[in-house]
Structure 1
Amino acid sequence: MNTQDLLPGGGHYSAGRRVGNLIFTAGQVPRDADRNILGENITDQTKATFKNLEAVLAQFDAELKDIIKVTVHLENLSDVPGFNEVFAQFFPKNKPVRTVVGSRLNGVLVEVDVIATSAEKE
């Protein structure tokens, strides 16, 4: 299963894809379906990004608790403390493995892609 129309991006790709019991997401950013940026600071943008990830994962009957690997791109590495504050709210107990890198993000402060696990739909 691919999700080609969910949270449309600017390119030719799917928002998510299942391979066996693994779900891979494309990088999600704090934008709505009309491509408007949601939030002006790292905490608000991180919350919006994880809401978008929740929507992608829901298409595969998965949730944030099913995430096993997170890759985070930050426009400013000085935003790591603000990102961590929100990240801890979404993952208070089951902490996924994580990588954080500095990246050019074209107008947003954060982009996140994940690998999650879930049983396949029948």
Structure 2
Amino acid sequence: MSQDDRVESKRAPEPVGHYPHARRVGNLLFLSGVGPRERGSKKIPGVELDGEGNIVSYDIETQCHAVFRNVRYILEEAGSSWDRLVDVTVYLTNMKADFPTYNRLWAEYFQDNPPCRTTLEISRLPTPIAIELKCIATLGD
């Protein structure tokens, strides 16, 4: 693979490690894990942190809207689109509390032809967020 296969978004939040936002392989686009952070800052929509960076409270609905927006940014800048998503792995840090809201929003965002989906509960993510998406989409015909 070459550097030309890499996608670096100008609108999505910067990766928290040494990896691209996405890579093109044939007519597929593989996104790295995408969270709800805002580009150019450490601000996480819907999250209140204490002075040590621990989560005091969070709003999963706000985080879902933000993470879906960030995924859309990467897809569009790579030459794909929301309706070209074919597989999504979702990581939630609190399945019991957050799954109903997340599942309702998923149905709103994917009213027609939703992608395949796997949802997992994990104990934590690299930043103080409650949701992260790992996606595969197709590119233009």
Normalising by structure 2, report the TM-score.
0.80
**Residue equivalent to 1:23:** 29
**Residue equivalent to 2:17:** 11
CA deviation vs aligned residue, 1:69-88 (integer Å, no higher than 9, x gap): 00000010111111011111
CA deviation vs aligned residue, 1:20-55 (integer Å, no higher than 9, x gap): 100010111110111210123111101100100000
Q: Secondary structure at the match of 2:78?
A: coil
- CA–CA distance in structure 2, aligned partners of residues 80 and 55 of structure 1: 24
**Residue equivalent to 1:98:** 117
Q: Indicate yes or no: 2:6 matched with 1:2.
A: yes
* Aligned mate of 1:37, from 34, 37, 44: 44
Identity of aligned residues (%): 34
Supply the AA of the counterpart residue of 1:64: W
**Residue equivalent to 2:106:** 87
RMSD: 1.4
Normalising by structure 1, report the TM-score.
0.92
- CA–CA distance in structure 2, aligned partners of residues 5 and 97 of structure 1: 24
Which blocks of at least 5 consecutive residues in structure 2 are unaligned? 47-57
Q: Secondary structure at the match of 1:72?
A: strand
Larger radius of gyration: 2
Alpha-carbon contact 1:66-1:118 (below 8 Å) kept: yes
- In structure 2, the CA distance between the partners of 1:5 and 1:119, relative to structure 1 (3 Å rule), is closer
Equivalent residues in 2 for 1:47-86, closer than 5 Å: 47-78=65-96, 79-86=98-105
User: When the two structures are aligned, how many residues end up with a matched partner?
Assistant: 120
Of 75-84 and 5-14, more deviation after overlay is shown by 5-14
Of 3-12 and 20-29, more deviation after overlay is shown by 3-12
Which blocks of at least 5 consecutive residues in structure 1 are unaligned? none
CA deviation vs aligned residue, 1:76-104 (integer Å, no higher than 9, x gap): 01111110111111100111110011111
* Aligned mate of 2:136, from 110, 115, 118: 115
